[in-house]
Amino acid sequence: MSGPSEGPGACPVLVTGGAGYIGSHAVLALRDAGYPVAVIDNLTTGFRFAVPEDMPFYEGDIADAALLARIFAAHGMGDGVGAVMHFAGSIVVPESVENPLKYYHNNTAKSRALIEAAVKAGVPHFIFSSTAATYGVPEVERVGEDCPQVPINPYGWSKLMTERMLADTAFAHALNYCALRYFNVAGADPQGRSGQSTAGATHLIKVAVEAALGKRDHVAVFGTDYDTPDGTGVRDYIHVSDLAAAHVLALEALVADPGRSLQMNCGYGRGFSVMEVLDAVDRVTNTPIERRIGPRRAGDPGCLVSDNARIRATLPWEPRYADLDTIVRHALAWERKLDAIHRG
């Protein structure tokens, strides 16, 4: 499937949702590794400033088949060359419970259109931004890729359906793929080039650093009666730049072996409770945050921690920022820079 000239640094990549939080970090990682990159984003939740000004950018929808065909042709993707790295979609679990059809439209139906466009063009590689929410409420302490995938919310189902579409498509067509199942993504680019910029974001560390800087007057703690050491939800927090690096390595693996597809967890294999995260923010900022206890949110499991043995065995992935205080410091630095961007 891969052309003879395709390889690390040569394979052109279309990044969907590349103006968003995780997508923008993947764009930076790809560029740093020498890949030609183009970005498509409808800017519903993304920001044009998150994409380097000299990078080809298309404001549009991933379900626009004509636009995708033009992009693939313009950037040398197709006929067995190139890759799609797919981040575009909706990500808020409680919202998915309240508005499931939005999630099945944005995350599943539009992904189907994108996959179809890639197959029609002959783009051979596809990296998919999946989620640990596909596991639902695991019955094990650390979740491996072979654990049952039984989501408990529409967000998880919408992503799992896309994984299934990719598996079936890879069987039927000249396409290999990697589904990377994220745990809780946090932090920001250590060089201050990008970060979580969405107003009203629900990511805990983002919310907490906003509170530390006075942008919120408290942090809500949703549930203190889980079966965890302090009763609050436990999550595996992964630095967004380590996650972006995993995407580049996954692409290299797909290019090197066109007959192989992959499904891998992206996490550090260690969990922190909500209270432990807030303690870390207090510690890093030296600013105590008000914590307001509330009921559990619909669709939230009590504990979700990765078994990351597969990705460590499959890719030469060596996380550089696997430290909670470091993640918080980078998130805090970005939050301060974001103020300057908005003022400018």
Domain ranges of the chain: 13-186+239-266, 204-235+269-339
Which one from 104, 135, 155, 226 is the annotated catalytic residue? 155
- Under a CB-based contact definition with an 8 Å cutoff, are residues 20 and 89 in contact? no
Paired tokens of 100: 């499931």
The answer to whether residue 177 is catalytic is no
Can you give the pTM of this predicted structure?
A: 0.94
Same fold flag, 13-186+239-266 and 204-235+269-339: no
Give the model's confidence band at 9: pLDDT under 50 very low, under 70 low, under 90 confident, else very high: low
Q: What is the distance between the terminal CA atoms of the chain, rounded to a whole angstrom?
A: 47
Instruction: Using the predicted structure, report yes or no on whether residue 4 has a pLDDT greater than 90.
Output: no
Average pLDDT, the chain: 95
pLDDT band at 297 (very low <50, low <70, confident <90, very high): confident
Query: 204-235+269-339: what fold?
Result: UDP-galactose 4-epimerase; domain 1 (3.90.25)
Cβ(69)–Cβ(121) below 8 Å: yes
Cα distances (angstroms) measured from residue 9 to each of 44, 163, 193, 251, 299? 30, 26, 21, 10, 40
Contact 249, 26 (CB under 8 A): no
- DSSP summary character for residue 104: I
What value does the mean pLDDT take over residues 156-180? 98
Query: What's residue 339's pLDDT?
Result: 84
For the cut 70, the answer to whether the pLDDT of residue 290 exceeds it is yes
Report the topology of domain 13-186+239-266.
Rossmann fold (3.40.50)
Name the strands in the sheet holding 234-235, side by side, starting at the edge strand that comes first in the sequence. Answer: 272-273, 234-235, 303-304
Please compute the mean of the pLDDT values over residues 76-88 and round it to a whole number.
97
Average pLDDT, integer, range 207-223: 96
Task: Please give the Cα distance from 29 to 107 (Å, whole number).
Answer: 24
Q: Which of 70, 71, 37 is nearest to 55 (CA)?
A: 37
Beta strands in the chain (DSSP E): 13-16, 37-41, 57-59, 83-86, 125-131, 176-182, 184-186, 219-222, 234-235, 237-239, 262-266, 272-273, 291-294, 303-304
pLDDT level of residue 311 (50, 70, 90 thresholds): very high
- Each residue of 47-58: b (16+ CB within 10 Å) or e? beebbbeeebbb
- Which pLDDT belongs to residue 8? 52
pLDDT(2) > 70: no
How far is Cα 42 from Cα 308, in angstroms, rounded to an integer? 33
Choose among 211, 235, 222, 229: nearest CA to 290.
211
Reported as a pLDDT band with limits 50, 70 and 90, residue 152 is very high
